């Protein structure tokens, strides 16, 4: 297997986007040390680099069964590894099918675990997530001055830690200043690893609007797949939203979350949405 180290070498890559969450995708296994982490930071920087929310390394994995398998290694825009990225895994699955590494039904091995994926001809990809997803305890929310405010946020892990904050009263998620609200909650003292923070407005008919402030990017992204899953599951458990839930993201694209609830546990969780190829490119030495 050819290694996909990217420090010091020009490399072929694909730029892909899943519901507005964008990635640089490389074929091969990840060998990322300090030099490569700095390269990832430069490449993901918008304006002076290619621009992306993170980097994916996709490689073939030996399979004991008939279904082909891949390995997906993900790194945030800050160069740090993450166990899981839902939109990134959807893009990796479509990349694998288009590159001939796997068939339309495949298994993607991530830091979270093995995840089933179905890649459709129209570019939509469905993930079947590990079981179960458990809704954790509530934690207080607070404003940028550190003052505790209502409502509280639900904490849960969807591969990586998340907070889900529902907008109170007549406040709409579109009006929030995430640059002000996100950083403190992303480093919530109750969550030692930090968390992605998802702000939610509940709509009628099993529909949500969600905006996400992501750790590792340290900014709002146009979409966060695992954050959408977290928001839909909590909305089902606490707000009576019925599966499947359609979730509008900042990009304007919608993701669909399926689940089956048993108390605070979500089973049979799926995430469906687009995974687009934006362009193919070749990184030059001066970009690295």
Q: Which of 44, 91, 167, 224 is catalytic?
A: 224
**CB 96 within 8 Å of CB 102:** yes
What are residue 162's DSSP bridge partners? 156, 196
Q: What is the DSSP letter of 237?
A: H
Active site residue 85: yes
How many angstroms separate the CA atoms of 110 and 242, rounded? 28
Q: Closest Cα partner for 119 from 110, 129, 106, 128?
A: 106
How many angstroms separate the CA atoms of 139 and 153, rounded? 5
**CB 165 within 8 Å of CB 185:** yes
**CB 283 within 8 Å of CB 43:** yes
Those residues with Cβ within 8 angstroms of residue 275's Cβ, 6 or more apart along the chain or in another chain = 16, 17, 18, 87, 90, 91, 93, 94, 119, 123, 124, 125
How many angstroms separate the CA atoms of 274 and 126, rounded? 9
3-class DSSP assignment, residue 251? coil
Active site residue 224: yes
Total Cβ atoms within 10 A of residue 246: 17
Determine how β-strand 133-142 pairs with β-strand 148-158. antiparallel
Peptide bond into 151 cis (omega under 30): yes
Catalytic residues: 85, 224
């Amino acid at each position: 297997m050819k290694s996909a180290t990217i420090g010091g070498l020009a490399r072929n890559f694909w730029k892909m986007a899943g519901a507005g969450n964008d990635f640089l995708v490389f074929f091969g296994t990840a060998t990322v040390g300090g030099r490569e982490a700095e390269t990832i930071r430069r490449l993901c920087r918008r304006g002076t680099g290619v621009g992306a929310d993170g980097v994916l390394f996709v490689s073939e994995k030996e399979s004991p069964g008939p279904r082909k398998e891949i390995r997906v290694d993900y790194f945030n825009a800050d160069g740090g590894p993450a166990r899981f990225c839902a939109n990134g895994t959807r893009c990796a699955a479509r990349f694998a099918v288009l590159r001939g590494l796997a068939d339309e039904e495949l298994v993607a091995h991530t830091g979270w675990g093995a995840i089933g994926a179905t890649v459709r001809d129209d570019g939509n990809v469905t993930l079947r997530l590990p079981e179960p997803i458990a809704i954790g305890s509530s934690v207080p929310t607070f404003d940028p001055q550190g003052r505790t405010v209502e409502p509280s946020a639900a904490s849960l892990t969807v591969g990586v830690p998340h907070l889900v904050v529902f907008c109170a009263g007549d406040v709409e998620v579109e009006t929030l200043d995430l640059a002000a609200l996100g950083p403190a909650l992303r480093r919530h003292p109750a969550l030692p690893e930090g968390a992605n923070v998802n702000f939610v407005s509940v709509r009628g008919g099993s529909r949500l609007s969600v905006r996400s402030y992501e750790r590792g990017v340290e900014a709002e992204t146009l979409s966060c797949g695992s954050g959408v899953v977290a928001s839909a599951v909590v909305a089902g458990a606490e707000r009576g939203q019925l599966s499947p839930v359609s979730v509008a993201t900042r990009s304007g694209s919608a993701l669909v979350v399926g689940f089956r609830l048993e108390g605070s546990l979500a089973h049979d969780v799926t995430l469906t949405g687009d995974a687009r190829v934006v362009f193919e490119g070749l990184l030059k030495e001066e970009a690295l």
